[in-house]
Structure 1
Amino acid sequence: MKNQQLFFFLLFVVSLPISTLGTDSELIYHQCEKNFTQNYNLQSNIDNLLVDMAFQSSLHRSAVSTFGRGGYDAVYGVARCDGDMSHEACSACIIGVEHDILATCPGSGAVHAWREKCYLHYDVTDFVGKWDHNTTTVWISSSKTEDPKAVEQGVAELMGEVTAEVARETLKFKWGQITLEGYNDSIVTIYGMAQCTLDLGESECHYCLKSLRLEMAEYCGGSVGCRLIGIGCVLRYEIYKFLFLEEEAAAGVEAQAPPPSLAADY
């Protein structure tokens, strides 16, 4: 993977107490770039952009927004929530991210920020409708399976299925599951999801996810869980239910999942 910036994290969800891990109300990763000073118009446009994206996310669980007329004062933004979130939860998540980045990235002209269930990106360079293959954040579970080959085959099949139709979905979101026979006749169910931001066209979404699938095959083999977040798309699988699936929806209760937030940075 030449000329590609990869951020690796190992997830320790078994041996560490839950209080040491991040929660849905915390940033799990962020980047602050393109610092500026004494540009009132740009700061005003960023503030307006964040307000607009919070409003859009309350209606659509996603947002694409632009403020300014080009030059040094224009700013472009995209926000997305996991496709299983409610409108209210999505809006709260995006508002929380915005609160965090105003505190952690003051005077930044470009920000990428993730919470457990949502993502926000704004930039003074127009990136809307494009995907960036040069930056990927990789979260890999520290736990390994006793039957890595079976899991790898299952993951490959599942990811192929969930990515096949994403680009044509209204929310550009798809999830699925696969059950397979593992070590000593044990039964393992793998859950997976794929999602693109709504600004990406069908071909851009397809190629973004294709890039993540190649990286998943290269870096996540033998792990019981892995998440890859690119600029424009996300791909994830786990051996537990990490989404608000149909049976939980019927009961009105969201599945509880170990938060992938503590990391060893490479």
Structure 2
Amino acid sequence: MEVAPRYRMINPENVTSLDQFNQVLRSLLDGLRSKAASGGSLLKFATGNTSAPDFKTLYGLVQCTLDLSELQCNDCLDTIAGRIPDCCNGKEGATIEAPSCKLRYEIYRFYHPSADELTPPSNDPATTKGKDGNNTRNIIIIIVSAVVGFVILIIFISIFLRTRKFKEKFEGNFSDNGPYDNNRNLILSSLAPYVHINNGGFYNTSIGQDLNQVYALALCRGDSPSNESCNNCVKATSQSIMTQCPYQKEAFTWGDKEPPCLVRYADHSVSGILDLPPVLVEYVGNLTDLVKSNLTEFHQTWVSLMDGLVKEVSMGSSSLKFTTKKAKFNTFQKIYALMQCTPDLSLGDCDVCLRQSVAESQACCLRTIGGNVQRANCYFGWALSPFYSPHTDASPSVSTTRPQINSTVDNYNGMSTFQKYDSLVQS
């Protein structure tokens, strides 16, 4: 069993009645933990909801990997629930993940309603015995239970994976195969070839009209080694966000590639607009004894490094706001850090985005060996070992040549394509 978690905070809004909310949350999670832990080898999963302060409803979901025993599942969920005061106290929603278990709670329903009606099997089907000893009846029970359990497992594995990597605003849905759906698929499928690292790795575009207009952007992290790597990342991330956010009108993700890239779409213009929530915070490991022996020096070096990075990135150009730096804090170890804003942000908005991310990382993860904070407008990562391309320690240069825009994308009906240099509007 592994319980060293990484966590994401999906809903950064603060609750108004902290003590009452925490009491309701503890009660909900305790009940779900017990229910999931008592599940058999087919499913260790539970969802539920309860009344929360201010006439709200609090929804929860917990799950353990199937290899855990009842005691191990209970301990894993109890351990990560114990991290809530450190990372997410007073927040209306959060997700905490460990390799062996996860939990999530929100003030809106984020899972399929049918999940509340399902109960994990408390015993393995193979051990089910009829009181009358009828072998035929036992076989039927085993087969039916196995089939039902398998179907339930597939459903909730899908739900679990859907919530792992994507931050969604849940501000309205759209219908399958409707105009918005078609426009979203078209624009996201067309992003990758138009993102070029020699021009900052940023591309901003829109398609459609009126209520069916879709806005989208892509940004490759500044340490992307080549156009091919950048394009492949945007292509894979665009496909993933269409799959994992099938009906949301607005979503973003930095994806799973290394180095990652940002893909974002919405039903309204997002160009140059700072959007702090939602946020993904991840961290790994614990500080080594070598660092713990001098925490004061480590903290001072960390804070000074991040402050300098924020200032440098914020003052970047309208083509590129990206910097990496490293700082030595003892004879043997260094802190490595990377920051980036979407280049359409103003100096002030970039500063706010990054400082908020630094504050959240400092609040949750300063006793770890690294982490990152991902937003729709900025990215911040740090570690005690190199995690970005070495050539990026010197600020990368950006071509000042006017980009050549391939006209094939602009030929789509109702699509307007714009970058920092151009605005091409179709009639």
TM-score range for the pair, normalised by the shorter chain length: 0.7 to 0.9
Q: What is the root-mean-square deviation in Å for CA atoms of aligned residues? A: 2.7
Match of 1:209 in 2: 354
Letter in 2 for 1:160: D
Task: Write out aligned runs for 1:178-193 (5 A).
Answer: 178-181=327-330, 186-193=331-338
Which deviations, in whole Å up to 9, do the C-alpha atoms of 1:86-135 show, x marking residues without a partner? 22101100100122223333333222222241121111133322222232
CA change 1:11–1:144 in 2 (3 A) is farther
Pairing partner for 2:282 from 136, 139, 143: 139
Q: Which runs of 5+ in 2 are unaligned?
A: 1-11, 15-90, 101-162, 395-427
Match of 1:243 in 2: 388
Does the alignment pair 1:197 with 2:346?
Answer: no
**Cα distance between partner residues in 2 of 1:108 and 1:166:** 31
Does the alignment pair 1:115 with 2:256?
Answer: yes
**Cα distance between partner residues in 2 of 1:111 and 1:84:** 24
SS class of match (1:133): coil
CA change 1:102–1:166 in 2 (3 A) is same
Aligned length: 230
Q: Which has the larger radius of gyration?
A: 2
Match of 2:324 in 1: 175
Match of 1:252 in 2: none
Q: Is the 8 A contact 2:370 2:382 kept in 1?
A: yes
Pairing partner for 1:77 from 210, 216, 237: 216
CA change 1:31–1:136 in 2 (3 A) is closer
**Cα distance between partner residues in 2 of 1:233 and 1:124:** 20
CA change 1:121–1:203 in 2 (3 A) is same
Letter in 2 for 1:172: K
Match of 2:227 in 1: 87
Could you tell me how far 1:233 is from its partner in structure 2?
Answer: 0.6
Relative contact order, higher structure (CA 8 A, sep 6+): 1
Which deviations, in whole Å up to 9, do the C-alpha atoms of 1:56-108 show, x marking residues without a partner? 224642221122233x2011122212101022101100100122223333333
Does the alignment pair 1:129 with 2:265?
Answer: no
CA change 1:193–1:8 in 2 (3 A) is farther
Could you tell me how far 1:35 is from its partner in structure 2?
Answer: 2.4
Could you tell me how far 1:172 is from its partner in structure 2?
Answer: 0.7
Match of 1:101 in 2: 241
Q: TM-score, normalised by structure 2?
A: 0.49
Match of 1:160 in 2: 307
Q: Is the 8 A contact 2:301 2:327 kept in 1?
A: yes
Letter in 2 for 1:30: F
SS class of match (2:166): strand
Q: Is the 8 A contact 2:285 2:368 kept in 1?
A: yes
CA change 1:222–1:47 in 2 (3 A) is same
Could you tell me how far 1:28 is from its partner in structure 2?
Answer: 6.6
**Cα distance between partner residues in 1 of 2:206 and 2:192:** 13
**Cα distance between partner residues in 2 of 1:80 and 1:9:** 27
Q: Is the 8 A contact 1:58 1:88 kept in 2?
A: no
User: Higher helix share goes to which structure?
Assistant: 2
**Cα distance between partner residues in 2 of 1:248 and 1:176:** 6
**Cα distance between partner residues in 2 of 1:235 and 1:165:** 13
Q: Is the 8 A contact 1:79 1:197 kept in 2?
A: no
Q: Is the 8 A contact 1:145 1:222 kept in 2?
A: no
CA change 1:8–1:190 in 2 (3 A) is farther
Q: Is the 8 A contact 1:57 1:63 kept in 2?
A: yes
Match of 2:188 in 1: 50
CA change 1:210–1:226 in 2 (3 A) is same
**Cα distance between partner residues in 1 of 2:322 and 2:272:** 17
Match of 2:83 in 1: none
Which deviations, in whole Å up to 9, do the C-alpha atoms of 1:135-183 show, x marking residues without a partner? 22111112223323332222111111211111232321010001111xx
SS class of match (1:79): strand
SS class of match (1:187): coil
CA change 1:175–1:7 in 2 (3 A) is farther
CA change 1:64–1:245 in 2 (3 A) is same
CA change 1:175–1:28 in 2 (3 A) is farther
Task: Write out aligned runs for 1:252-263 (5 A).
Answer: none
**Cα distance between partner residues in 1 of 2:98 and 2:275:** 23
Which deviations, in whole Å up to 9, do the C-alpha atoms of 1:29-49 show, x marking residues without a partner? 113543211563212321232
Q: Is the 8 A contact 1:56 1:63 kept in 2?
A: yes
Q: Is the 8 A contact 1:84 1:244 kept in 2?
A: yes
Letter in 1 for 2:391: E
